[in-house]
Amino acid sequence: MAITSITDTTTLSNGVKMPWFGLGTMSTGQSDEEVAEVIKSAAKVGYRSFDTAKVYKNETGVGKGLKESGVAREELFITTKLANTDHGYDEALKAFDESMEKLGLDYLDMYLVHWPVPGHLESWKALEKLYKDGRVRAIGVSNFLGHHLEALFKVAEIRPMVNQYEYHPLLTQKDLLAYNKAQDIQVEGYYALRDSQEIPEIIEIARNCKKTPAQVVLRWSLQSGVVTIPKSTREERQRENAGIFDFELSEQDMAVIDSLDNEKRRNPHPDEVKVSK
């Protein structure tokens, strides 16, 4: 798969084009102004996909940065997520409206159910309505394992187009990746750079490629067919992370990184997440 530009896209099951590479915004800035500056610097670098969530408490800042970036709305791909405390049909619709008001958007590119906690099946019906009404271009889930997807398929009229979950060299969940691909669900990974840059094998590959360990890990993610959204608040690092489109990892390098998996999670296991108000 040839991914040679920050603007290259994958086509979701409904035909919508989603950038392979974007900016995650969890724990980004302490104020709306700080968050906005992060968004604007990334937009200047060339980022066009931005991922947020209600629980990040930065949707207002993200929206401010997008507006001030000067980038045309049709060039952007914006994602936010339904919080665990907002499950239920009416509750999900209300939460969506609140997120849209904070983001200052007329439509959303993708809305995700953040975790598979009780009530999410009712919420999915709300996401289907938002999709049918044209208020969101794509709907999906986050942190869903295979059995969560199977349960969703039994009640869903519209299947999720994306499954976003923790994905890095120490947690590849190969079976889950293969399952999503077989179901025509695009995998999007987060925490790509957690703990990965200190691994000797990755450092060695980076030295041979004349790239940084972070760039090697991000390239590995893309070549695995996974959309990746690394977080960075500094323009210098945003540029470094985006400097991955002028090289490819060999099959041998990919196999070495794949072999590092030790099922090390940073986030809780999806079956153990607790809902707290």
Q: Would residue 56 show up in a list of annotated catalytic residues for this protein?
A: yes
Residue 139 near residue 87 (C-beta atoms within 8 A): no
For residue 43, give every residue at least 6 positions away whose Cβ sits within 8 Å of its Cβ, in sequence order, or none.
65, 66, 69, 70, 71
Planar angle of CA 133, 139, 145, nearest 5 degrees: 150
Cβ neighbours of 72 (radius 10 Å): 8
Task: Give the C-alpha separation, 100 to 212, whole Å.
Answer: 37
183 token code pair: 């179901």
d(CA 58, CA 93): 19
> Rounded to whole angstroms, how far apart are CA atoms 261 and 166?
12
Cα angle vertex 178, ends 167, 205, to 5°?
50
Beta bridge partners, 19, equal 9
Catalytic residue among 47, 56, 131, 167, which?
56
Active-site residues, by number, are: 56
